[in-house]
Structure 1
Amino acid sequence: MIREDMVSSDLEALSFHINMKIATLKKALQLRNIGQEPSLKPMLGKIRHEMLLLHDLLNKMETEVQEQEKKKNLLKELQKAAERDQKEAQHLYENIPPHLPKPSQSCITGLTVKHEEQTKVAESKRVKKPMKEATPIKEISLITAEEFESVPTYMKGRLTYEQINAVVKDINKAVVDKYKILHQPLKSMSVPVRNLYHRFLEEETKETKGEFFIVEADIKQFTELKVDKRFHRILSILRHCRRMREVRGSRIVRYIIC
């Protein structure tokens, strides 16, 4: 009796398996017939196109996940380094010696004599030739994380905090290079530098008097930045964050450092 039940169950399983195979073959034949139907070919082409787009999107998502994973690992390393530094600082703070060693009398005497000699040399130099104080060149301060978060999304687009500050550094380089030339004596300039010097003077107006500013020609001259739509979007963000303002005139846009 048990053997008959086992044979029956095996036959039922075999029958079910054969029926599943037959159903699968029927579906495959139906799909093949659908693929050969002329009226359905455009739809199948669209489905194939959408599948390719979906495949590309999944690849991009995978790449983005990998990048985020790298950033997460870097942040973990930075966190560990900060915790080590904090522990070392706490250890130093808790173990400050109650009495620091005092300098010997010979050291004090030597330092006093040396200081007096340096003072006399400095005074003699000032008497011989008064030095002009160099005017500090004004630069754009970097955008903070809080400021970046406050920038409207439509202005930021896909721009990152690091990309904006990288452009700020390049703009500062252009400002410094330009005003170093303007602070040089004319006699020490080569012909190309003198031509730049005269261009800088021609671009000054009443609105820029006493201000530090650059134009697009300075960006191209002193940096490798591309003056394109992305660059102008970053300038809009810098204006929004009150890092610069524009003065227009004679078909030139002057970007004044705030």
Structure 2
Amino acid sequence: MELEMGEEEKNPFVLQKEKGRRDVTSPDLDSLCSHINDKVSNIKALLQLRKIGQEASLKAVLSKILHEMFLFNDLLNQMELECHHQERKQSQLKELQELIERDYKEAEHLEANMPFHLPNAGLASAAAGLPAEKEAQGKAAEPGRPKKPGKEVKPVKEIPFLTVEEFDSVPAYMRGRLTYSQVNAVIQEINKAVASKYKIVRQSTKSMSSVVRNLYIRFQEQETKDTKGEFFIVEADIEEFTQLKADKRFHSILTILRHCQRVREIRGSRLVRYAVC
């Protein structure tokens, strides 16, 4: 029985079986003898292996080989565990290296881009009036008639910048796509508007121009009993003293500032006033 080429490729087991049949039924006596000798050799080997456990001399060797195989198997298991351990350590070291590289890049970025809103000791001292205090002490040391103490001027309040932790604590729906730097940049502009407004409020009316006088009058009209002692601005002040616009993005940032207790709203006379907390 012969198979076609396509059938041989599809069923190699049938092919091998058919080849065995052709070898057995082959008229070639040499092939037949070789086949029979191979069968006899296989049978002898099987009989020897079956009796190996019954002979005392071979039984000891077999037992030793079995023991060595168990030891070798344990050694392979230990090697496998050690390989898994080393793979885990390598993975952890790779993650640690990535973290270190990321921190290093962040440190380089921070060094190259220092935030503008970080406090400066020199400027803080100047804002606190330390030079003025020294000057006052020097003048007090000079002999002369005593001067009447002037009316104490309350320093203009400023909005403190947000910390990273505070910004991260703001709900995601409130932050939207706003970034930490954008929020603090608006805080800086609001402080600028507050300082500009109260510089005019505290200015002598005799030295005011007509434009400044109109602003002064508007500021006075916005005062109510609820704003007494408060430092506040309105949207018109933002557009007057800064480059910001009172748009949707600005109001989103004001929502964040109210949430972080940086500003609070004082409403009245159809006007929303944003007071510094």
With the length of structure 1 as denominator, give the TM-score of the two structures.
0.54
Structure 2: how far apart are the matches of 1:130 and 1:210? 21
Q: Is 2:150 the counterpart of 1:141?
A: no
Separation in structure 2 between the aligned mates of residue 119 and residue 245 of structure 1, nearest angstrom: 41
Question: 1:207 aligns to what SS in structure 2?
Answer: helix
Report sequence identity in percent.
61
| Structure 2 runs not aligned, ≥5 long | 1-100, 113-136
Aligned to 1:120: 141
Deviations 1:78-132 (A, max 9, x none): 479xxxxxxxxxxxxxxxxxxxxxxxxxxxxxxxxxxx985432x637x245444
Q: Which residue of 1 aligns with 2:219?
A: 200
Residue 186 (structure 2) aligns with? 167
Change (3 A) 1:162 1:210: same
Give me the whole-angstrom Cα distance separating, in 2, the residues matched to 1:154 and 1:228.
Answer: 18
Q: For residue 201 of structure 1, what is the amino acid of its counterpart?
A: Q
What is the rounded CA distance, in whole Å, between the counterparts of 1:182 and 1:79 in structure 2? 40
Separation (CA, whole Å) in 2 of partners of 1:124 and 1:226? 53
Number of the residue aligned with 1:212? 231
1:201-229 CA-to-partner distances (Å, cap 9, x unmatched) read 00011111111110001001100001100
The Cα of 1:185 is off from its aligned counterpart by 1.2
- In the TM superposition, 1:24-173 aligns within 5 A as 73=105, 75-76=107-108, 78=110, 119-121=140-142, 124=144, 127-128=146-147, 130-173=149-192
How many aligned residue pairs are there?
153
Distance, in Å, in 2 between the alignment partners of 1:118 and 1:191 is: 37
What is the distance in 1 between the residues matched to 2:102 and 2:218? 47
Aligned to 1:180: 199
- For 1:133 and 1:124, the matched residues in 2 are separated by 22
SS at match of 1:247: strand
- CA offset digits 1:9-47 (Å, max 9, x no partner): xxxxxxxxxxxxxxxxxxxxxxxxxxxxxxxxxxxxxxx
Distance 1:148 1:117 in 2: 45
Cα 1:203–1:70 change in 2 (3 A) is farther
Question: Aligned partners of 1:71 and 1:222: how far apart in 2?
Answer: 39
Return the offset for 1:237.
Answer: 0.1
Q: 1:70 to 1:192 in 2, by over 3 A?
A: farther
Q: TM-score, normalised by structure 2?
A: 0.51
Identify the residue that residue 257 of structure 1 maps to in structure 2. 276
Matches of 2:103 and 2:248, distance apart in 1: 28
Aligned amino acid, residue 120 of structure 1? A
> RCO (CA 8 Å, sep 6+): is it higher in 1 or 2?
1
Map of 1:23 onto structure 2? none
Aligned to 1:248: 267
Distance in structure 2 (CA, Å) of the matches to 1:220 and 1:188: 24
Task: Give 1 or 2 for the bigger CA radius of gyration.
Answer: 2
Q: Root-mean-square deviation (CA), in Å?
A: 2.7
